[in-house]
């Protein structure tokens, strides 16, 4: 059968399509496939398409040896003495879990599920173990067998989406029926057998099938009833891959329905010279709108023979991973630039070379704000001379002085995304953003999004809680210090930094966020909804400011107290989602929360503010929200996302008011504090279904402080 596949002695990207001309015919003819490769990514399963499906249905067997891609966090764990096997498994499982979120790769994993269930797929992990050094196994060999002959190959291609589709690669092929090839084919086959049985010097090989089984089988269950054909007739490319003319660049997926307002946003951006900011409410699809714009731009440039490099900048690593998943849906596997530069620099550098030489039509690098500012990525961007599009997610963050200076001045095209592009108390940073990205060219507020059906309706319930005397005294002292600095104009323009004003403003905000009366009020509210699922609980960061004043810094945080109350005392399944939660655990928490059967309440501080998708959330408790509009607008948008079976959302907001009676707060200080809190309340109530009820609750407070117009 392999002889009939008409396989050549070598394949090179400039002469052929390695997947179409080699992999798929070889899989279609073989009964077994052995692959030992430096990096094996589950995303490649989407590329192998029908060849892999036929191979599985015919009873084929596979053995894979791979080196997991280690993050800087993994390396730190190894250096700290964590069990090496556990760290390697964790890294490999992370790739499989991410692949399960990509519909294309998930279908490929589903195909492997048949092999796993029948005991016809085995996976092992390899690593260098020499002189107390742990290194990466980087070899690339493979063997196809049909029961009579074998075909062995070796070359540059990793078993990843970019390795087989996006990069320039070459492989040498050795066939046992060719006299000059036979001895080398057998030797490569023996090298694999030695590797598989852990007989290779310098290397250690460990079992991984058992650890991967549950994830692969779960993907198989999800895709078992999927009836969409993997491939159109005759052509061997998965249906969800880009159209032939779009290979190598971003392309809008055929199954994506672009909303009218998203089309309008893209049109406005193009009309503004492909520069500008989209002010779009959380949950309205900023990511897909931006990628649609990038795809149209790439198509326009391709017609001129000009490749496009797209740089996507997101605040955090988990947002980079989310962007990467969507970019893969648009037909490209991006370079994820975060963690140690050794994990991505080579890929980014090769991409730039391919763009410069014209062997690639486009490419995408997705990075974090932190990595953008570092020398390795700055060096990559400095040497690139071609067309560059910068997309900035939550672009308001890039107005900080340390970041705005790192934005590439060479970018021809610039697109900023934010529900709230204005920087709080930082006019200079806001101006810098406008100067770089351009003006706001499209707006889609929450009101318009609700009317358009992009977000769901909601009810809003303010719960009034009072400062105690100690808190009122401290609040008055901090407010007086702030007033003196403002009066003397002794503040820096960047309140994000540890300026005196910035510290005082955060301290005052924390007094309100940590108000002691909030926890008893929270208990009453949660108890009323004890049987409801899909509940989010936002807590204040850090500890109560009085804990630092008194030196009592060992008392539980507000989040810890709330978790104990909800999880232990009220016996509701609950978990925390914080910056300390590891990335793989975060995905598991979000999955369990969305299932509506395992996790009833998810508690967080800021990690659920930007970019994290929790559309199933139906109830949000705001124990802490700063007076910064960005934060409370994002938190509202987080719970208004649409989901199956979700009619509306409920927001319970804890509003801090002065003590009812004598306190150390001056009346004008009290009035301003209430006015700050009412800014948020007014914004929330204005669009709520129960606006009249909310206004009735707050009317006595407005009368007391003469704030009826607030």
User: pTM surpassing 0.75?
Assistant: no
Q: Fold for domain 259-451?
A: Rossmann fold (3.40.50)
693-to-147, 613, 697 alpha-carbon distances in Å: 77, 30, 6
Q: Quick one: what percent of the chain has pLDDT higher than 90? A: 33
* pLDDT, tens digit, 9 for 90 and up, residues 101-143: 555 555 556 666 667 777 788 888 887 766 555 566 777 889 9
**pLDDT the model gives residue 516:** 93
> Which two three-digit tokens encode residue 307?
């490749």
* pLDDT, tens digit, 9 for 90 and up, residues 193-227: 999 999 988 888 888 777 667 766 666 666 554 43
* pLDDT, tens digit, 9 for 90 and up, residues 406-424: 999 999 999 999 988 877 6
296 close to 271: Cβ distance less than 8 angstroms: no
Separation of alpha carbons 47 and 101, rounded Å: 16
Which positions of the chain have pLDDT values less than 70? Answer: 38-53, 69-84, 95-114, 129-136, 156-168, 211-212, 215-247, 424-425, 489-498, 607-612, 625-631, 661-666, 709-710
Separation of alpha carbons 309 and 348, rounded Å: 11
149-to-141, 177, 181, 561 alpha-carbon distances in Å: 17, 7, 12, 67
Instruction: Domain ranges for the chain, please list them.
Output: 3-223, 259-451, 457-467+515-705
**pLDDT the model gives residue 262:** 93
CATH numeric code, 457-467+515-705: 3.40.50.300
Separation of alpha carbons 50 and 47, rounded Å: 9
| 3-class secondary-structure state, position 194 | helix
517 close to 524: Cβ distance less than 8 angstroms: no
Q: Which residues contact 221 (CB under 8 A, 6 or more apart)?
A: 113
> Which two three-digit tokens encode residue 240?
């969800």
List, in sequence order, every residue forming a beta bridge with 416; answer none if it has no partner.
Answer: 277, 392
**pLDDT the model gives residue 541:** 86
CATH numeric code, 3-223: 3.30.870.10
457-467+515-705 has the same fold as 3-223 = no
What would the DSSP string read from start to end of 416-451?
EEES--SPTT-HHHHHHHHHHH-SEEEEE-HHHHHH
Separation of alpha carbons 527 and 141, rounded Å: 60
Find the length of the chain: 710
Separation of alpha carbons 379 and 347, rounded Å: 14
Separation of alpha carbons 314 and 334, rounded Å: 14
Separation of alpha carbons 571 and 549, rounded Å: 34
CB atoms < 10 A from the CB of 170, how many?
Answer: 15
**pLDDT the model gives residue 621:** 95
**pLDDT the model gives residue 489:** 63
**pLDDT the model gives residue 371:** 94
Separation of alpha carbons 631 and 285, rounded Å: 18
Residue 536: name the closest of 438, 605, 435 by CA. 605
* pLDDT, tens digit, 9 for 90 and up, residues 475-519: 888 888 888 887 776 544 445 456 788 788 888 888 988 999 999
């Amino acid at each position: 059968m392999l002889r009939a596949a008409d396989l050549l002695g070598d394949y090179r990207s400039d002469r052929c399509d390695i997947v179409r001309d080699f992999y798929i015919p070889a899989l279609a003819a073989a009964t077994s496939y052995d692959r030992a490769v430096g990096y094996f990514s589950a995303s490649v399963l989407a590329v192998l398409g029908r060849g892999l499906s036929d191979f599985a249905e015919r009873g084929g067997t596979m053995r894979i040896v791979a080196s997991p891609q280690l993050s800087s966090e993994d390396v730190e764990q190894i250096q700290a003495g964590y069990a090496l096997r556990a760290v390697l498994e964790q890294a490999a499982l992370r790739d499989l879990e991410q692949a399960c979120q990509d519909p294309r790769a998930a279908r490929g994993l589903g195909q492997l599920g048949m092999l796993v269930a029948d005991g016809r797929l085995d996976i092992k992990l390899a690593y260098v173990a020499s002189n107390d050094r742990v290194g990466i196994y980087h070899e690339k060999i493979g063997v196809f067998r049909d029961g009579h002959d074998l075909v062995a190959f070796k070359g540059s291609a990793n078993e990843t989406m970019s390795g087989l589709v996006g990069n320039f690669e070459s492989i040498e092929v050795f066939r046992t029926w060719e006299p000059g090839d036979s001895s080398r084919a057998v030797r490569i086959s023996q090298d694999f057998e030695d590797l598989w049985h852990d007989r290779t010097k310098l290397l250690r090989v460990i079992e991984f099938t058992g650890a991967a089984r549950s994830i692969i089988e779960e993907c198989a269950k999800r895709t078992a009833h999927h009836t969409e054909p993997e491939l159109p007739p005759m052509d061997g490319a998965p249906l969800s891959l880009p159209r032939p003319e779009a290979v190598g660049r971003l392309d809008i997926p055929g199954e994506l329905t672009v909303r009218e307002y998203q089309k309008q946003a893209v049109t406005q951006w193009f009309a503004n010279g492909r520069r500008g900011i989209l002010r779009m409410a959380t949950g309205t699809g900023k990511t897909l709108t931006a990628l649609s714009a990038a795809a149209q731009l790439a198509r326009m440039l391709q017609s001129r023979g000009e490749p496009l490099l797209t740089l996507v900048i997101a605040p955090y690593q988990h947002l980079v991973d989310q962007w990467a998943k969507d970019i893969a849906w648009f037909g490209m596997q991006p370079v994820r630039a975060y963690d140690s530069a050794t994990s991505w620099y080579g890929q980014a550098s090769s991409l730039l070379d391919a763009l410069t030489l014209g062997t690639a039509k486009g490419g995408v690098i997705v990075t974090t704000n932190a990595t953008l500012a570092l020398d390795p990525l700055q060096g990559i961007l400095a040497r690139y001379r071609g067309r560059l599009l910068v997309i900035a997610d939550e672009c308001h963050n890039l107005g900080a002085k340390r970041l705005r200076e790192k934005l590439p001045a060479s970018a021809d095209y610039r697109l900023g995304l934010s529900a709230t592009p204005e920087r709080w108390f930082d006019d200079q940073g806001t101006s810098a953003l406008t100067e770089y990205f351009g003006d706001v060219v499209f707006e889609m507020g929450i009101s318009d999004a609700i009317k358009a059906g992009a977000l769901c309706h909601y009810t809003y319930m303010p719960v009034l809680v009072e400062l105690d005397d100690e808190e009122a005294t401290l609040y008055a002292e901090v407010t007086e210090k702030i007033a003196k600095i403002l009066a003397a104009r002794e503040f820096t323009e960047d309140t994000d930094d540890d300026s005196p004003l910035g510290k005082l403003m955060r301290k005052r905000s924390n007094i309100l966020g940590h108000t002691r009366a909030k926890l008893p009020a929270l208990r009453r509210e949660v108890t009323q909804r004890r049987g409801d699922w899909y509940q989010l609980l936002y807590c204040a960061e850090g500890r109560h400011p009085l804990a630092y004043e008194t030196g009592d810094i060992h008392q539980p945080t507000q989040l810890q107290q709330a978790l104990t109350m909800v999880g232990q005392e009220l016996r509701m399944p609950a978990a925390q989602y914080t910056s300390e939660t590891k990335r793989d655990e975060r995905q598991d928490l979000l999955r369990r929360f969305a299932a509506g059967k395992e996790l009833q309440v998810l508690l967080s501080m800021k990690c659920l503010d930007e970019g994290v998708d929790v559309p199933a959330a139906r109830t949000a408790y705001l124990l802490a929200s700063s007076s910064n509009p960005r934060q409370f607008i994002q938190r509202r948008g987080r719970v208004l996302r649409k989901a199956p079976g979700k009619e509306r959302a409920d927001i319970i907001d804890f509003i801090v008011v002065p003590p009812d009676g004598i306190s150390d707060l001056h009346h004008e200080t009290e009035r301003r504090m209430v006015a700050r809190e009412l800014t948020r309340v007014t914004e929330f109530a204005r669009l709520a279904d129960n606006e009249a009820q909310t206004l009735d609750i707050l009317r006595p407070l407005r009368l007391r402080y003469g704030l009826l117009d607030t």
